Chain A
Amino acid sequence: MSATVNPPNVFTQDELGWVSWIEPLPEAELTERHFAGLVDRARAKSEYFRLLVRDPEVLEARTKTDKDIFYNVADGLPRAERELAAAATSRYNGCIYCASVHARFASTYSRRRDDVQKLLDEGVGADLGERWNAVVKASVALAATPIAFGPDNIKELRQAGLDDAEIVDVINGASFFNWANRLMLSLGEPSK
C-alpha cells in the first residue's frame, strides 16, 4: 500500500518488490497463530505474507506444500527443472513477479542464465533444448484452461529422460504455480 509503485512492464530476472492492494495485517498484531501460519517468522517482514496470514491455516498448509514440492529433491527432478516449470507457468499466465523469482532460481541452479532469459524474452515457445522444451511444454499444457496436458506430454517427458517420479515433480511444480500466480497477480502488483 506504499505511495510510489513502479510496475515493471517486461519479464525480468531482477529482484522486484510487491505491493498489496488490500490491507495486510500490521506486524504488531501478529499472534502465535499467525506465526504458525507464516511457518518462517522472518516472513512477517513481507507484505505478501502478512496479507495471506489473515487466513493462517490455509497459508501454513500452502507454504508447506510449496516447500516440499520445490525443495525436497530426494529421488526426483533436479531443483533447476522444478524452477523452470514454475518460471514457464508464470511466463504463460503472465505473472511478472513470480517469473522473476523463479527465473532467478532456475538460473542459479542450472547455470543456464541465458536460456532462462530466452524463456522470459521470447515466451514459452523459446527453443531451450529437448529436455527443457518438454518441461516447458508440459507446464504450459497444464496451465491452459481447459487443461491441455495429455499423453503426448508424458511421452515427450519420458523421451527427454524423465522417469515417472520426475514427471510427478513437473506436474506438482507446474500445478502449484497456477495457485501462486493467481494470488500474486490479483492481490497486489510488482514494483521495481
Chain B
Amino acid sequence: MTTPDIIDTLAGIKPGSALDAIRAKRLQARENAQKSYLSLFEPIDAGGFSLLERAAVATFVTGLHGESPVASFYRDKLAASAGGAALLEAIDVEIARGKTSGPYGSFPAGPLSIENTAGLIYRVSADRKPGLGARLTAALEHAHLLVFRPRDAASSDMKALLAAGWSTTGIVTFSQLVAFLSFQVRVVSGLRTLAAASA
C-alpha cells in the first residue's frame, strides 16, 4: 500500500483542489518530500538511529513549534511505537520546558556581534535523564539547539553526541530528521495559511 502524501494529509489538501493542482506542478519536489519522510521514518536500516528514537525526537521537535496537526501526527506516531507510551510523558514535559522563540544565538565575533541574541540554553531536567537515557538526552538537547539557535552550533556539539553513543552516520540521519521536520512543519503551515486565505 502506498503511504498517502504526508504534506497533503497534514495540510488538508484534497485531491482536485486548487492547491493540489499547484503542488502537482512541482511533482518532483512533492514526491521527494514524501520520499524524505519515508526514508527518515521507514528507513531501510534504522541501525544508527532507532525508530523509537526517531519518533521521540520528532515529537519533541514538532512540539517545540507549538500545537499543530504536524505535532499531533508525530505524537501519535510515538504513542504507537513500541516503548513509545513510556516516553510520552517525559517528552511532553520537556517540550513544555523547552518552548521559547527563535531564532536566537551568536554570530562569529566581529561586526555581526551586535546582532547576538541571548536565549534559553535548554538542558534535559535531571529527573528525566535516567528514563530517557544518555542518547536521547543528548539528542533532545541538540535538537533544541537546531530548532531555536542553529547559529550557535559548534564542533563541541558533535563531540557531545559522539560521547553519548551516537555514530557519525547516526548524527547525519538525526540532523537530517530535525532539519527535514523544520521544513515540513513550515510547508504545512504555509499551505494551510494560503488555503485559508483563498477560502
Contact = CB atoms under 8 A, between A and B. Distances in A.
Interface in B182-196: 182-187, 189-191, 193-194, 196
Chain B interface mostly: helix
B64 A9 contact: no
Nearest to A183: B179
Interface stretch (A109-117, A127-135, A160-168): A160-168
A143 B101 contact: no
B102 interface: yes
B50 interface: no
Interface in B71-111: 101-103, 105, 107-111
Nearest to A153: B193
Interface in B129-173: 142, 145-148, 150-151, 153, 155, 157-158, 162, 168-169, 171-173
A72 interface: yes
Contacts of A60: 32, 35
Contacts of B196: 151
Contacts of A126: none
A147 B28 contact: no
Size class of B's contact patch?
A: 35 or more
Contacts, number: 198
Given A94-B103, A153-B193, A174-B186, A164 B150 contact: no
Contacts of B115: 123
Nearest to B26: A68
Given A22-B171, A55-B169, A186-B157, A180 B19 contact: no
Contacts of B193: 149-151, 153-154
Interface of A: 7-11, 21-23, 51-52, 54-55, 57-62, 64-65, 67-69, 72, 74-76, 92-96, 123, 142-147, 149-151, 153-155, 164-165, 167-169, 171-172, 174-176, 178-183, 185-187, 189
16 contacts: A22-B158, A22-B172, A55-B172, A58-B40, A65-B29, A68-B29, A143-B186, A151-B197, A154-B194, A168-B23, A171-B186, A172-B26, A175-B186, A179-B182, A185-B151, A186-B157
Interface of B: 18-19, 22-23, 25-29, 31-33, 35-36, 38-40, 43-44, 64-66, 101-103, 105, 107-112, 115, 142, 145-148, 150-151, 153, 155, 157-158, 162, 168-169, 171-173, 175-176, 178-180, 182-187, 189-191, 193-194, 196-198
